[in-house]
Amino acid sequence: MSLLILENVTKRFGGLVAVDQVSLEIKHGEFVGIVGPNGSGKTTLFNVINGVFFPEEGRVIFEGLDITTLPPYKRAPLGIGRTFQIPRPFASATVRENVAVGAMFGTLSGKVNVDESLEIADQTIERVGLKEHRNKQAGTLTPVEKKLMEIARALAMKPKLLLMDEAMAGMHPNDIDQMVAFIKQVAEEDKIAIVAMVEHIMRAVVGMAEKVIVLHQGAKLVDAPTKEALEDPKVVEVYLGRPSEK
């Protein structure tokens, strides 16, 4: 059974079609990169998947369950975690508390108590390398640390699907390599399907994605194994806007 299926999903904002008849399929443990120019509907697609917006048309199916109109707080425990394009920490709470929230409310059983959550938080924070910042207010972290904190918060939810919006935005190339390695490791260890939106298409996508989906003006342009997708003339033209270097 597929982990996630979108069937002809359309999301409009007034007259603007932000997501246009998109169908796609994500398998368990799969690593998928989503790319597309600014405004092509990447974030909106995430919002439809995790319930921030309901689509006007189409269906969203998670592990065989139709979740098209399920509110977001009910989707999270099913196993959908997410990070945001612009980090959204619970600013006044500590890093530890932020991550504990993920464990407390985002897990399927819903029976994780406060102490257990804090324990899970400590382990997860250590994993993303934020240990020395755990008692800092999340609002005081640097942008990159906030990204890591959000990843920890999502991982503490023990997701089956992790949606990462602009996972590497604003990162130094060295950090990107580290991040790619880390995310790949997490995906394998935790058996999480990751759908990552990546801006540095070549570097990051080639580094980790098995499959690439290219969006253009809300519609799906390409959906193919990474190598194939990157060589597709349509992608080169639309996404890169210049002739391939090859």
Segment near ligand ATP (CB under 6 A), from 39-47, 101-109, 147-155, 180-188? 39-47
* Among 6, 19, 22, 76, interactor with other proteins by CB under 8 A: 76
Burial of 17 by CB count in 10 Å (0-12 exposed, 13-18 middle, 19+ buried)? middle
Residues numbered 83 to 142 that lie near ligand ATP (CB under 6 A) are: 85
Question: Applying CB under 5 A, which part among 7-15, 78-86, 101-109, 218-226 lies near Mg ion?
Answer: 78-86
- Exactly one of 3, 6, 42, 221 binds ligand ATP (CB under 6 A); that residue is 42
104 within 8 A of 112, measured Cβ to Cβ: yes
| Contact status: 85 vs Mg ion (CB under 5 A) | yes
Phi/psi zone of residue 84: left (φ > 0), alpha (ψ -120 to 50 degrees), beta?
A: beta
Tally of CA atoms within 13 A in the half-sphere of 89 that contains its CB:
27
Residue 173 touches ligand ATP, criterion: CB under 6 A: no
Query: Considering the complex, what minimum distance in angstroms separates the CB of residue 38 from ligand ATP?
Result: 4
Query: Could you say which of Mg ion, other proteins, ligand ATP, none residue 104 binds, taking C-beta under 5 to 8 angstroms by partner kind?
Result: other proteins
Cβ–Cβ under 8 Å, residues 224 and 232: yes
Indicate whether 13 belongs to the interface with ligand ATP (CB under 6 A). Answer: yes
Among all chains, which residue has been given the structure tokens 């189409």? 58
Site map (CB under 8 A) of other proteins, residues 78-117, x = contact: ----x-x---xxxxxx---x--xxx-xxxx-----xxx-x
Long-range contacts of 170-177 (CB under 8 A, 24+ apart): 170/143, 170/144, 171/144, 171/147, 173/203, 175/144, 176/200, 176/203, 176/204, 177/207
- Asked if 43 interacts with Mg ion (CB under 5 A), we say yes
Give the residue carrying structure tokens 């503490």. Answer: 156
Which chain residues interact with ligand ATP by CB under 6 A?
13, 16, 18, 36, 38-44, 85
